[in-house]
Chains A and B, each alone.
Chain A
Amino acid sequence: GQQVMQIPQYQHVQEGEDFTTYCNSSTTLSNIQWYKQRPGGHPVFLIQLVKSGEVKKQKRLTFQFGEAKKNSSLHITATQTTDVGTYFCAVNTGNQFYFGTGTSLTVIP
């Protein structure tokens, strides 16, 4: 299956600080998706990026797809305790979805 790495694996931030997670692939991706999984919950779809260099925003979340379509990032501005969870990138190959290794975010009040 598709290999997608994420860094960092864990991140602890003070509430109000920014947070970024990166997703990297060795191959060119047709698209990339981002999911959030709250502790004890199941993954929830956030967004899909398709175009080279694409940037999308959802309130305090900014998603970017690299120019070469091999990497992506999720940036959260001014984190809140509600942002706690694990953020996964995922690749949709058309028939299957392959998930990255995930970044676990802890927000310290």
Chain B
Amino acid sequence: SAVISQKPSRDICQRGTSLTIQCQVDSQVTMMFWYRQQPGQSLTLIATANQGSEATYESGFVIDKFPISRPNLTFSTLTVSNMSPEDSSIYLCSVGVAGGSTDTQYFGPGTRLTVL
């Protein structure tokens, strides 16, 4: 298993500003992901955070808006840049852990972002 912490747990920001969310894992993991979840909705994959190389972004998400860092196998950051009210959401960090034939995904507690 993996224990994941995220900071901040919540924030209220002004439009046009940027927020950096931190994700810390208690063990080294290869797979690390960032998701967005709007209230009452499913999880949308933003990107895969790759250690030592640029993140892999899903369709509809770009590096200029959501820059990601992955300096080592236990830590990653996601920045939400030039925020607008449409960016209000919960942002979740997750890691994939391989165990036998099963790849289990563990999630952090999430960061609840409100943009005014």
Q: Is A59 an interface residue (CB 8 A)?
A: no
Contact partners of A44 in chain B: CB under 8 A: 107
Q: Is B26 an interface residue (CB 8 A)?
A: no
Interface residues on A, range: 20 to 34
Residue in B40, B42, B103, B109 whose beta carbon sits within 8 Å of that of A42 in the complex = B109
Q: Are B110 and A42 in contact (CB under 8 A)?
A: yes
| Chain A residue, CB-CB nearest to B96 | A97
- B residues 73-103 near A (Cβ < 8 Å) are 92, 94, 96, 101-103
Residue in B42, B45, B58, B104 whose beta carbon sits within 8 Å of that of A88 in the complex = B42
Q: Hey, which bits of chain A sit against chain B, CB under 8 A?
A: 1, 33, 35, 41-45, 48, 50, 88, 90, 92, 95-102, 104
Subset of 21 A-B contacts with CB under 8 Å = A1-B45, A1-B58, A1-B59, A41-B109, A42-B109, A43-B92, A43-B107, A45-B105, A48-B101, A50-B101, A88-B42, A95-B31, A95-B48, A95-B56, A96-B33, A96-B45, A96-B48, A97-B96, A97-B105, A102-B41, A102-B42
